[in-house]
Every structure is written in structure tokens, then in C-alpha cells.
Amino acid sequence: MIIGFGADLCDIRRIADALERFDARFPHRLFTEAERECCDARAGRAACYAKRFAAKEACAKALGLGINKGVGWQDIAVVNLPTGQPTLQLTGGAAARLAEITPPGMTARLHLTLSDEEPYAQALVLIDAGAC
């Protein structure tokens, strides 16, 4: 059963500009330490951050909320499985909202896909629930 779907498109140039203008303040406000370590280690730093920004927005939409409406930027984190596949880790308001929309007796699963093609980054988030 699908309980949420969200999509977001982000302009990589906008993220690159924010990284340049606000230095460390921008990534420290929006991204977890693990996300910052991952993106700062990449040659395509702005694209990495842009994909994660889009994922946070798409996830907030899938949860039926917006960022700063019960869900903080760092409540949603993009993490990678050992295979390299991206997935989402929810804490705080995002985790609470997921629990709220998950039907009783079911377990929610989050699915994430990320893509970028200069100058855009895209994320799609699907939340489904199944029997425990």
C-alpha cells in the first residue's frame, strides 16, 4: 500500500551559489554531519548537496508536510547502504510523522531515487507500508 509519494527538482547552480555565499553555515544548517562528510569528499560537491536537498524536499512532500512544518532539515538524512544505494534515515519530526501515517500493524518502507543532469538534481521518494 502506497502511503506517500514526493518529487523534487533542484537547480545545482542555486546550491553552488549558497555554498559559496554562506560557506559552512549553509551545509551545517541543512545537512547532517554524515551528509556533509559525504558531499565534501566529492569533486561534484554542489551536485551531491543538491541531490540531498531535493531528497529532503521530496521526503517532506511524501510525508504530507513541508520542511519547517513539523519536520526539520536534519530530521531527514540521505545515507547509503553498503551497496551504494541511497536511502533515507528519519529522526525527530520526520520519524514521528512516518509513524503517524503508517497504518496499525504495518511497517513503512522508504524508497529513494536520485538523479542529476547539470544543471538539475532530482529526487523521488515513495513510502509504502506492508504487513509486519
Check if the beta carbon of residue 15 is closer than 8 Å to that of residue 50.
Answer: yes
- Is 75 within any annotated ligand binding site? no
- Is 35 within any annotated ligand binding site? no
**Which residues, at least 6 apart from 10, have a Cβ–Cβ distance to it below 8 Å?**
50, 51, 53, 54, 57, 120, 121, 122, 123
Binding site, residues?
Answer: 8, 57
Binding site for Mg(2+), residues?
Answer: 8, 57
